[in-house]
Amino acid sequence: MPNQKAAAPQQVLRLLYFNLGFWQQKRLRAILFAAGYELAFGLLARPRAGDAVVVWGKSPTAYRGEAFAARHSLPVWRVEDAFVRSINLGRAGDAPLGLLIDPIGVHFDVSRPSQLEQILAKDPLDDTQLLARAKQGIARLRALDISKYNVHDQGLAPPDAGYVLVVDQTQGDASIAHSGADAARFAEMLDAARREHPAARIVIKTHPETARGYRAGHFGAKDCDARTTILDSNISPWAVLEGAVAVYTVSSQMGLEAIFAGHRPQVFGAPFYAGWGLSDDRIAIPRRGRKLTRAQLFAASHLIAPRWFNPFKGGLCSLEEMIDVLEAALRARREDGAGYVAAGMRAWKRGRLQAVFGAHKPLIFIKDVQKAALRARAAGRKLMVWGMASAPPDTPVLRVEDGLLRSIGLGADLTPPLSLIVDDLGIYYDPSRPSGFEALVMQPPADDARARTQVLLDGLRTAGLSKYNLGGAAVDLPDTAKDRTIVLVVGQVADDASVRLGGAGRSNLDLLRAARTAHPTGFLIYKPHPDVEAGLRLGAVDAQDLAELADMLALRADAAKLLDQVDMVFTLTSTYGFEALLRGVPVTTLGAPFYAGWGLTRDLGDVPQRRRDHLRALNQKGLPAPDLVHLAHTALIAYPRYFDPITRQPCPPEVALLRLAQAKQGGAAMPKGVMLRLLSKSQGYFASYSHWWR
């Protein structure tokens, strides 16, 4: 959903800059270009109608542009970071994910209005959909632990609850002076916190830039006493706010987040969020008097005023889409920070595993799992194995597998995956034990999860995407299929892990016989697994058995198109059954795949009792059972991780869908690598030596 309003009058088409940061920072230029503006270096440009001068907030170099604008009677536009910026600090080199582009003023300067202030003062802010998005946005930022910067360590615990939080800021920060405050106000703030809470502990939260040595703050050891401590560890702002009984700030963004967290902060400066009835303000702001709700404040600050950017698409996006992008990057940072020792990984998979999981700390590959476990323990890393490979008993292990929206091409053809699954409980296709997938299905999804999932499913269906996306044509059904139930029987690889673990010892031939028994007059189409069809894996059914049981053999058929032609699907454990469900095709299972046992399939196999027990418990409580959207959210969004082969960065599933759709339609091919291309072409000739690379 796009932002609600344009950032500025449309007649301004060119922005003249006098600070080389506008030239050096590619992301800054990209956001301004995506917003519809041309950038030109002011000293080399001739002013013309439709020009404005752009400066960075109230920076020390802004005077250059301001002087030029005054001489040539041009408007001055000010740019600042939006209120969710990046993972790391700007001073550490991270590019912003959003900007405030203001043709009126700058949001932290109380001496004059700003665009954000005008929105807060004059916009109705009463649209039901807008306010619903705002409430969901607040909830999602809190749930994902997202702040302006996101370098905090989620493993760190805040002080015991019940303290008064005093928020420090860096010395010389423009938002302090321009909010009508100075260094003396910080001393006054701390004194007020002590006087107004004489029996409470006082916790002074250090600014992240101070904690990392970039800039000095206002408080230090000299300000501590028996009940006053400095909190300079890398703790989540939301976690710190959770345990506070009161919050004191001058002009910090943490005061804004305190409002969203349910506090009524004591504000000693005049930041943009003061004066709207949501804070106790020690400085009066006469031109602000409107009473707003938290949702209205968020709608203005996060939905209307900023310009959010999607780096994968290179264009502007909604807040929700930006959070999707940031969530994928944060998940990688938070999960991979300790590093991994990967045991027994096949050689051809290592490059993609390193790219996906080794960005923060390179993976260590060790063939022997016992040695890998010892190395992981000694190095404080996590042990990683592929699928259900054996691991030492009583050793925590992460199991990795391909995701369900995988690639353009087969895994057996050495095509690297765009999605991977990491599970610390089991693995989704092993019904003999609980898995991370089951745990997620048994949790209620977030409020906004359904809408996001539905959009993703619509895109998947429109693009005709499946797990491998091999292409092919629709099947030409003969006249003998007319007026008969068309049953698609899905073959699998005989030694596939999901068949071994969840197939109850049944084979593709058993599946065909069961389908024919259930539908003696039906028109049975047998679709062999692509790996079997390509001659790369075991699982072929004898030709005579096929002739007796199946009416038609679907070779090289487009998997997605085929589902539009059938009435139902029979499968052991294939993920193709899940794809059928997503397209509204009834599915019968003979095994116990991950999507069976939730009330969405006809189950002839022995599905785990714990799934049935979960459904029974929900029914007893009057709660709904997991539906298809819930299952799809787990399988396609919450459970897997995605990797963009173009930017080589963690990405949300929507980007993986976009890349697959583009490649399937003849766009940019998925990079595979020279060695993998050679191996994939050669393995058919040297199958007996495949253990060298597999």
Distance CA 56, CA 58 (A): 6
- pLDDT higher than threshold 50 for residue 679: no
Kindly state whether residues 293 and 242 are assigned to the same domain.
yes
Buried b / exposed e along 497-535 (16+ C-beta atoms within 10 A): bbbebbbbebbbeebbbbbbeebeebbbbbbbbbbbbee
Query: Strand 14-17 to strand 38-41: parallel, antiparallel, or no bridges (unpaired)?
Result: parallel
Contact call for residues 178 and 285 (beta carbons, < 8 A): no
Q: Is residue 500 part of a domain?
A: yes
Which one-letter amino acid corresponds to residue 245?
V
**9 falls in which pLDDT band (50, 70, 90)?**
very low
Of 94, 101, 83, whose CA–CA distance to 138 is shortest? 83
Distance CA 574, CA 491 (A): 8
Sign of CA dihedral 238, 240, 246, 250: negative
Average pLDDT over residues 625-643: 97
Q: What is the pLDDT of residues 582-620, one digit of tens each?
A: 999 999 999 999 999 999 999 999 999 999 999 999 999
Note the pLDDT of residue 469.
Answer: 77
> Which of residues 305, 340, 370 is at a domain's end?
305
Kindly state whether residues 108 and 249 are assigned to the same domain.
no
DSSP string, 636-684: IIISEEEEETTTTEEE-HHHHHHHHHHHHTTSSPPP--HHHHHHHHHTT
Q: Is residue 236 part of a domain?
A: yes
Kindly state whether residues 99 and 198 are assigned to the same domain.
no
Q: What is the pLDDT of residues 79-119, one digit of tens each?
A: 999 999 999 988 778 999 999 999 999 999 999 999 999 99
- pLDDT higher than threshold 90 for residue 412: no
Q: Is residue 78 part of a domain?
A: yes
Average pLDDT over residues 304-309: 98
Q: Tokens 């299952």 identify what position? A: 631
Q: Is residue 684 part of a domain?
A: no
Question: What tokens does 370 get?
Answer: 């016992």
DSSP string, 153-195: -TTPPPPPS-EEEEE--BTT-HHHHTTT--HHHHHHHHHHHHH
Kindly state whether residues 537 and 580 are assigned to the same domain.
yes
CA atoms within 13 A on the CB side of 71: 10
Most confidently predicted of 177-181, 496-500, 553-557: 177-181
Q: Indicate the range of 229-238, 462-471, 584-593 predicted with least confidence.
A: 462-471
Kindly state whether residues 65 and 144 are assigned to the same domain.
no
Kindly state whether residues 180 and 289 are assigned to the same domain.
yes
- pLDDT higher than threshold 50 for residue 208: yes
Q: What is the pLDDT of residues 494-524, one digit of tens each?
A: 888 999 999 888 999 999 999 999 999 999 9
- pLDDT higher than threshold 60 for residue 692: no
Q: Is residue 545 part of a domain?
A: yes
Kindly state whether residues 156 and 63 are assigned to the same domain.
no
Sign of CA dihedral 119, 123, 129, 134: positive
Query: Strand 640-644 to strand 419-423: parallel, antiparallel, or no bridges (unpaired)?
Result: antiparallel
Question: What tokens does 21 get?
Answer: 């940061």
Of 83, 80, 69, 96, whose CA–CA distance to 12 is shortest? 69
Question: CA separation (Å) from 58 to 115, 274, 501?
Answer: 15, 20, 63
Question: What tokens does 674 get?
Answer: 């020279």
Average pLDDT over residues 365-373: 97
Note the pLDDT of residue 471.
Answer: 73
Note the pLDDT of residue 671.
Answer: 57
Which one-letter amino acid corresponds to residue 495?
D
- pLDDT higher than threshold 90 for residue 189: yes
Kindly state whether residues 531 and 623 are assigned to the same domain.
yes
User: Helix, strand, or coil here: 398?
Assistant: strand
DSSP string, 25-54: -HHHHHHHHHTT-EEEEGGG----TTEEEE
> Which of residues 606, 628, 647 is at a domain's end?
647
Q: What is the pLDDT of residues 266-296, one digit of tens each?
A: 999 999 999 999 999 999 999 999 999 999 9
The pTM of the full predicted model, rounded to 2 decimals, is 0.91
**410 falls in which pLDDT band (50, 70, 90)?**
low
Q: Is residue 44 part of a domain?
A: yes
Structure-model confidence comparison of residues 387 and 411, the more confident one: 387
Q: Is residue 642 part of a domain?
A: yes
Question: CA separation (Å) from 519 to 62, 112, 522, 568, 569?
Answer: 77, 77, 5, 11, 12
Question: What tokens does 181 get?
Answer: 């405050």
Kindly state whether residues 168 and 28 are assigned to the same domain.
no
**Phi then psi dihedrals of residue 77, to 5 deg:** -105, 140
Domain count, the chain: 3
CA atoms within 13 A on the CB side of 507: 8
Q: How far is CA 115 from the centre of its chain?
A: 30
Contact call for residues 449 and 637 (beta carbons, < 8 A): yes
Question: What tokens does 70 get?
Answer: 């005054």
Question: CA separation (Å) from 231 to 165, 184, 185, 345, 458?
Answer: 10, 21, 20, 43, 47
Q: E-assigned strands of 353-472?
A: 364-366, 382-386, 398-402, 419-423
Structure-model confidence comparison of residues 537 and 190, the more confident one: 190
- pLDDT higher than threshold 70 for residue 668: no
What does pLDDT average to over the chain? Answer: 91
Kindly state whether residues 132 and 278 are assigned to the same domain.
yes
Contact call for residues 552 and 475 (beta carbons, < 8 A): yes
Note the pLDDT of residue 555.
Answer: 87
**690 falls in which pLDDT band (50, 70, 90)?**
very low
**Is 111 exposed, middle or buried (CB count within 10 Å of its CB: 0-12, 13-18, 19+)?**
exposed
Phi/psi zone of residue 164: left (φ > 0), alpha (ψ -120 to 50 degrees), beta? beta
**694 falls in which pLDDT band (50, 70, 90)?**
very low
**6 falls in which pLDDT band (50, 70, 90)?**
very low
Distance CA 454, CA 28 (A): 32
Quick one: which H or E segment has residue 613?
helix 609-620
Q: E-assigned strands of 443-601?
A: 486-490, 523-527, 552-553, 568-571, 587-589
**Phi then psi dihedrals of residue 165, to 5 deg:** -95, 125
Percent of the chain clearing pLDDT 90 (strictly above):
81
Of 144, 159, 169, 142, whose CA–CA distance to 244 is shortest? 159
**670 falls in which pLDDT band (50, 70, 90)?**
low
Q: Is residue 320 part of a domain?
A: no
Domain holding 575: CATH number? 3.40.50
Kindly state whether residues 495 and 616 are assigned to the same domain.
yes
Kindly state whether residues 82 and 186 are assigned to the same domain.
no
> Which of residues 647, 666, 687 is at a domain's end?
647
Residue 30 lies in domain: 14-112
Note the pLDDT of residue 7.
Answer: 42
